[in-house]
């Protein structure tokens, strides 16, 4: 069964460093998302991406964040200058965008900023 994959599973970085989190959405999906979950808190929406552009973003998604679909398969989230409070589990999700609207989630990348 097709699934969303994410790499790495765990990333440790120092404050102020740039990180890139990678996702491979399900192949026929058209809409892509990033969410994050700080330990013990709710899953929070960051950004949605369709047709090679951001379609919606939350207040959390400020200028230090960016997303890109550099080729036909990868979808990346870049954090330019990490802060301690960026430590969280980051989930990528995708959906078909046609008849069904359910989003399918990847296994997540745990980002630890020290």
Binding of residue 4 to other proteins (CB under 8 A): yes
Smallest Cα–Cα separation from 88: which of 19, 5, 4? 19
- Give the contact letters, 47-66, x = binds to other proteins (CB under 8 A), - = no: -x-x----xx-x--------
Binding of residue 44 to other proteins (CB under 8 A): yes
Torsion-angle region of 40 (φ positive above 0: left; ψ -120 to 50: alpha; else: beta): left
d(CA 47, CA 35): 7
Provide the binding-site residues for other proteins, judged by CB under 8 A: 4, 31, 33, 35, 41-45, 48, 50, 55-56, 58, 89, 91, 100-108
């Amino acid at each position: 069964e097709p699934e969303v994959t994410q790499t790495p599973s765990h990333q440790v970085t120092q404050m102020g460093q740039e990180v890139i989190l990678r996702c491979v959405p399900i192949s026929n999906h058209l809409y892509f998302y990033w969410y994050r979950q700080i330990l013990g808190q709710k899953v929070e929406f960051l950004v949605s991406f369709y047709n090679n552009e951001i379609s919606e973003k939350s207040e959390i998604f400020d200028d230090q964040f960016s997303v890109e679909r550099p080729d036909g398969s990868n979808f990346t989230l870049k954090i330019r200058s990490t802060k301690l409070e960026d430590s969280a589990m980051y989930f990528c999700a995708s959906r078909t965008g046609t008849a069904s609207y359910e989003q399918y989630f990847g296994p997540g990348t745990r980002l630890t900023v020290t």
